[in-house]
Structure 1
Amino acid sequence: MSTAPGFRTVALIIASAMFMEQLDGTILATALPAMAASFDVSPLHMSVALTSYMLSLAVFIPASGAIADRYGSRNVFRAAIALFTIGSILCGLAGNLPLLVVSRLLQGIGGAMMVPVGRLVLLRSVPKSELVSAMSWLLVPALIGPVVGPPLGGFIVTWVSWRWIFYINVPIGLAGIWLATKYVPDVRLTERVPFDRVGFVLSGASLSCLVFGLEMASRGSASLGGSTGLIIAGMVCGAGYLLYSRKVAHPILDMSLMRFPTFRLSVVAGSLTRITAGAVPFLLPLMMQLGFGLSAAHSGVITFVSALGAMLMKATAAPVLRRFGFRATLVWNGVFSMVCVALCALFRPDWPLWIIYAVLLLSGFFQSLQFSAYNTVAYADVPSERFSSATSFYTTFQQLMLSLGICVAAAALHVSVVWHGRDSAAMPDFSVAFLVVTFISLIAAPVCALLPRNAGAEMSGHRAR
């Protein structure tokens, strides 16, 4: 099947939903200091506004594939946009941090359905030989969100009010609901499988306890016993789920997918790399505003450059993978991308802006190529009839590790601030945080080296010599 005009229309609608979600996330990161002042809390404590959303994603994404198969992709996709839009309105009305967290959780339920279900529609519409181009083409409009987000967020926070960063989702959401009703196909499996309610409860309890336990520990906002207890409870529920999932025919998170080598290595290596991907959007705006002393608007203009680099990469993904293959690209490009992020640890206010721009541009370019490769090779060996469970599984771990990246970055900042006896984060503390997350993500390179030379050759068109 070729990329027919109908496919392009559907891809644009899905990309619009991704645009809304990405725009929301990048604007929020830029607005965190202003929101902290409004709520009278420390800027470091605002990380909960990011992790609560990702927590909701991690809990509800496992159910997205099964729900789409049962109720139809169009109905689920349309309802997800509506939930995300309602959550955005409530976020804008929030009068304190706890209310914002609850509203972000509701937003996350919508986001948990939007992106995985949209990706599932494409996976079932495009043959594997065209998947690299289809994924890259799909993500170009979605990447406009991170490009527009930081400067737009800086402008809104500086000249209007941070509350409008949520209200701008309303017209986009209403347009998305109308377009989904008219154009998105109602894709669903003819064979109906029972919904794994027990697995949903166990996996949800495990993921929520782990994320909130790590988030509380990273901010030092609770006793050591409280955060440790949550983490232990999450591990116990996780172990219970693993034992339970072996006894059911259709578990909500199908661990047997890890038997496919490309899927397994993409999950493991991609998880390590996403530690940095989750940390950078949290660290960079804070560093520019707290460390450099810049306004939110000026900070946004600087940090948008990495998203611009990501957009520039999309046209090169297919030829690069065709020339070098998935294994070589993931190994060497992974090293290059982490070196670029590590250079952010050396940023200082007296640096020439053009050097900072160059580092961020290269960082965005190499990271975007890395994730395009991960997101594609993961499905190289997975049969098409298992795309639904594979998408839910893969996206769950993707969001969990992005959330963990924020927790690791916040923890590194908090420890460094306390260690040096400071009241707030300074430039050396941000340097420590950048180096910690990049060191963790560098471990992904030797994991990627375990891929076969011809991994994903049908997708990339690469033929190993």
Structure 2
Amino acid sequence: MTATPLHQKLQPEFYLLVFLVSIGFFMQGLDTTIINTALPAMAKSLQEDPLRMHGVVISYVLSVAACIPLSGWLADRFGVRNIFFSAIVIFTVASLGCAFSNDFNMLIAFRVLQGIGGALLLPVGRLAMLKIIPREQFLSAMSLMSLAGLMGPLMGPILGGWLVEFASWHWIFLINLPIGLLGIFVTFKAMPNITEPTIKKFDFSGFILLVIAMVGLALGIENITSHEVSRYFSIGLLTAGVLAAFIYAYHAHTHQNALFRSKLFKNKIFAIGILGNFFARFGSNAIPFILPLMLQVAFKMEPFMTGVMLTPIVLGSLFSKPIIRPIISRIGYRRLLLVNTVLVGACIASFALTNADTPIWLRTLHFFVFGTLNSLQFVAMNTLTLKDLPQQDASSGNSFLSMIMMLSMSIGVALAGTLLNVFTSYFGEAEITLAFHSTLICLGAINIITAIIFYQIPKNRII
């Protein structure tokens, strides 16, 4: 008898399904990056301060983080096709709403709705592939789908800058409409509506606690320096977020159907990986937000050129993919994360050495190096976090990691915006470049300090 190969080539009957999930992955990846180069133009159109536009990013990312725990349960309960279809419809309609928003608050509301759709797109699409495609073909399917995930961030900065400069910022959202309509059409042809016969009761109280914790922490940090929001209200949000997090920790220990059971954290490597992911992503996730602002607001660079200048970050990320596995095999997770965390922090802080006169070749090399180091960091942290989890905890651990990654992004952007406003008030708007530089130094320092977390990885763990 011939043994079945562990990894087989994807069969043609699954191409359309992979194409459909890739549409969702591409939309989400594109939307995450395309908006950053458009923020100054959006601020001018909506008569807002560009330094306070981080709410547009935070509202989307935070709603994604909050709804990730819902995705698996909804798909099991109502079927993967129904939820994936709903996600594309929500994302597309919300994109249309964002494009036609005529004030800041309306834009924020539609960004939240867009985030809800985005939270369901990738997890449910990946779950559908896992349930429909034979396991020995799954790796080929994921590899094919990941190309779409790389194309979105690669195209986002340049496309966003081009649309803003030669059309208007509204088109960064309108571009989702034909993609979304294509996905809606293909969904019923490519994806069967698979449900689970037995489903646990949804942990609604735990979900509410998690939402309060995430919203309280992110919005509390975002508004702490705002003149429109009371300082006491921001402190109240932070307090509520911290309290909800502690209450959920107790809930996770005692509730049988908790979304994320406390036993996950009995695995020391998982606990270290989650903490490291949370803090080490603050600076890294703030960079795609703060660099386009600095290039346009402080250095007076045009939107399209800004998008072009950000592309080396994505190219650096692509460059790192084939070298990450040999590096880990050679020096191990502990040494890599200790050294690379410091290097990423130093690279973030070193952006403070640049100015409007920095040569293009040097700026390009600088961004490429950051993209390479940052990708090494993310892949190493994610792999370390999940590698020792037993099979029965893998799904829950992966969902929790995804939620932490998005929460860290929202807090990182909020922190960058808050620091930028603090330094702008201190130095004055005439010294806006100094405010950006000071913010970058603080973000880099936070990243360097995070190396302390990875120092806790046992020394005997070579790989």
- TM, length-normalised to structure 2: 0.89
Q: Which stretch of structure 1 is more off in the superposition, 248-257 or 142-151?
A: 248-257
Q: Distance in 1 between matches of 2:333 and 2:15?
A: 26
Q: Distance in 2 between matches of 1:136 and 1:442?
A: 33
Identify the residue that residue 451 of structure 1 maps to in structure 2: 457
Q: Distance in 1 between matches of 2:385 and 2:126?
A: 13
Matched, 1:389 2:396: yes
Matches within 5 A, 1:356-367: 356-367=363-374
Identify the residue that residue 245 of structure 2 maps to in structure 1: 238
Q: Distance in 2 between matches of 1:263 and 1:127?
A: 28
Amino acid across the alignment from 1:84 = F
Per-residue deviation, residues 334-372 of structure 1 (Å, max 9, x unmatched): 333332222211111111110110010011112112212
2:327 to 317, 320, 324: 320
CA change 1:16–1:255 in 2 (3 A) is farther
Per-residue deviation, residues 42-66 of structure 1 (Å, max 9, x unmatched): 0012111111112211221122222
Per-residue deviation, residues 442-464 of structure 1 (Å, max 9, x unmatched): 23323223334676xxxxxxxx4
Identify the residue that residue 413 of structure 1 maps to in structure 2: 420
CA change 1:140–1:451 in 2 (3 A) is farther
Identify the residue that residue 369 of structure 1 maps to in structure 2: 376
Q: Distance in 2 between matches of 1:252 and 1:109?
A: 18
1:228 to 232, 235, 243: 235
Q: Is the 8 A contact 2:225 2:231 kept in 1?
A: no
For structure 1, list consecutive stretches of 5 or more residues without a partner in the other structure.
Answer: 456-463
Identify the residue that residue 458 of structure 1 maps to in structure 2: none
Q: Distance in 1 between matches of 2:115 and 2:365?
A: 33
CA change 1:103–1:158 in 2 (3 A) is same
Matched, 1:298 2:268: no
Q: Is the 8 A contact 1:143 1:310 kept in 2?
A: no
Identify the residue that residue 117 of structure 1 maps to in structure 2: 124
Q: Is the 8 A contact 2:224 2:234 kept in 1?
A: yes
Amino acid across the alignment from 1:341 = I
Matched, 1:73 2:80: yes
CA change 1:71–1:255 in 2 (3 A) is farther
Q: Distance in 2 between matches of 1:44 and 1:418?
A: 11
2:292 to 285, 289, 292: 285
Identify the residue that residue 10 of structure 2 maps to in structure 1: 5
Matched, 1:430 2:440: no
Q: Secondary structure at the match of 2:199?
A: coil
Matches within 5 A, 1:127-142: 139-142=146-149
Q: Is the 8 A contact 2:217 2:411 kept in 1?
A: no
Amino acid across the alignment from 2:456 = L
Identify the residue that residue 102 of structure 2 maps to in structure 1: 95
Matched, 1:260 2:291: no
Identify the residue that residue 44 of structure 2 maps to in structure 1: 37
Amino acid across the alignment from 2:174 = Y
Q: Secondary structure at the match of 1:94?
A: coil
Identify the residue that residue 461 of structure 1 maps to in structure 2: none
Q: Distance in 2 between matches of 1:130 and 1:337?
A: 36
Identify the residue that residue 3 of structure 2 maps to in structure 1: none
CA change 1:424–1:405 in 2 (3 A) is farther
Amino acid across the alignment from 1:448 = F
Amino acid across the alignment from 1:429 = A
Question: Identity percentage over the alignment?
Answer: 34
CA change 1:68–1:257 in 2 (3 A) is farther
Cα shift at 1:427:
1.2
CA change 1:67–1:377 in 2 (3 A) is farther
Q: Secondary structure at the match of 1:44?
A: helix
Cα shift at 1:429:
0.9
Amino acid across the alignment from 1:141 = A
Q: Secondary structure at the match of 1:414?
A: helix
CA change 1:181–1:234 in 2 (3 A) is same
2:112 to 77, 84, 105: 105
Q: Distance in 2 between matches of 1:72 and 1:331?
A: 43
Cα shift at 1:80:
1.7
Matched, 1:337 2:344: yes
Q: Is the 8 A contact 1:19 1:141 kept in 2?
A: yes
Q: Distance in 1 between matches of 2:16 and 2:24?
A: 13
Let me know the Cα RMSD of the aligned residues.
2.9
Amino acid across the alignment from 1:91 = C
CA change 1:326–1:177 in 2 (3 A) is farther
Amino acid across the alignment from 2:450 = A
Q: Secondary structure at the match of 2:387?
A: coil
2:63 to 50, 53, 56: 56
Q: Secondary structure at the match of 1:2?
A: coil
Per-residue deviation, residues 203-251 of structure 1 (Å, max 9, x unmatched): 2122222222221115444221111111112223333323333332121
Q: Distance in 1 between matches of 2:379 and 2:340?
A: 12
CA change 1:47–1:414 in 2 (3 A) is same
Q: Which stretch of structure 1 is more off in the superposition, 211-220 or 363-372?
A: 211-220
Q: Is the 8 A contact 1:273 1:441 kept in 2?
A: yes
Q: Secondary structure at the match of 1:426?
A: helix
Q: Is the 8 A contact 2:69 2:399 kept in 1?
A: yes
Q: Is the 8 A contact 1:9 1:183 kept in 2?
A: yes
Q: Secondary structure at the match of 2:439?
A: helix
Q: Secondary structure at the match of 1:246?
A: helix
Matched, 1:150 2:168: no
